[in-house]
Structure 1
Amino acid sequence: MFNDIKITDYKQLNQMLDSLLDEETNKTANLSNASSLLNYFLDNVNWVGFYLYEARTDQLVLGPFQGLPACVRIDNGSGVCGTSFKNQEILRIEDVHTFPGHIACDAASNSEIVIPIYKDNLPIGVLDIDSPLYNRFTASDEEGLAEFVEVLKKHL
């Protein structure tokens, strides 16, 4: 079916991210490289990217990503991304079609994981990853991706 990414693999990935972003201070460049690294590293994903919080509109706005064109704006609290961000909790959704208010940007997506990003209690956005497989994301993915975001935050 798919190769489950083990935590040791995520530790190696997170070290690669830290090295890749070392000494770079541009947020867009760092988010772009982070999404590219995940897209290359993870099997069976069809979209990897970031939505960034815009306080003026209270929305998440499309940021750097890998995949098909996507929804540009998501209201805070709407869909998987908006709910994860508003509640400041990781959401790992086995079947997005059963999630109340799911926003279908890509009809091929069947499962999703979203990690909210806050730095020093200030809102940044979310890391959003979709898969065409149902139940693609595991507890190991959740743990590894949460640590990935922690490493990323050092460079934002």
Structure 2
Amino acid sequence: MNMIIKNFTAFTFMSCLLLFTASAHAESEIYTEYFSDLAVSGYDSVAYFEQGKPVKGDSDYSFEYKKATWQFSSQAHLALFKANPEKYAPQYGGYCAWAAADGRTASGDPLQWTIIDNKLYLNYNAAVKEDWLKDAEKFIIEADNNWPELLK
């Protein structure tokens, strides 16, 4: 019985290791949390522009874009996104903009956001956002240069 438990434990450990190793090799184009396909953690990306604040989306107003599910707080916001997703989707797929400037990926927190030149940027946390804002224009140039390669 102990051998069965040891084998099962080893199999489970190796399966988890392979799962996380495989996901570490290539990032998805849109950041989603583990075991979720929600972009922007389910927040309405149009609301940042239209309401000036993060607003939770509703599953009744969902749309699949770039292999992620986007949720919106209203039919009007859903329609705006469908008409021009590149305008409303966060830059760098919703990954942390400061991390992208540093040549890596990190999760983007939908509560730590900025709109610069009519583009939405998310940051990892409040401290990172504070650093980001000290020289956002420089960081945007660096992140734009790094971005395509970070997903490989």
Instruction: Settle same-fold status: TM greater than 0.5.
Output: no
Bigger Rg, structure 1 or 2: 2
Provide the TM-score with structure 2 as the length reference: 0.26
Question: Greater share of helix residues, 1 or 2?
Answer: 2
Question: Greater share of strand residues, 1 or 2?
Answer: 1
Provide the TM-score with structure 1 as the length reference: 0.26
Which fold has the larger relative contact order, with Cα–Cα distance below 8 Å and residues 6 or more apart in sequence? 1
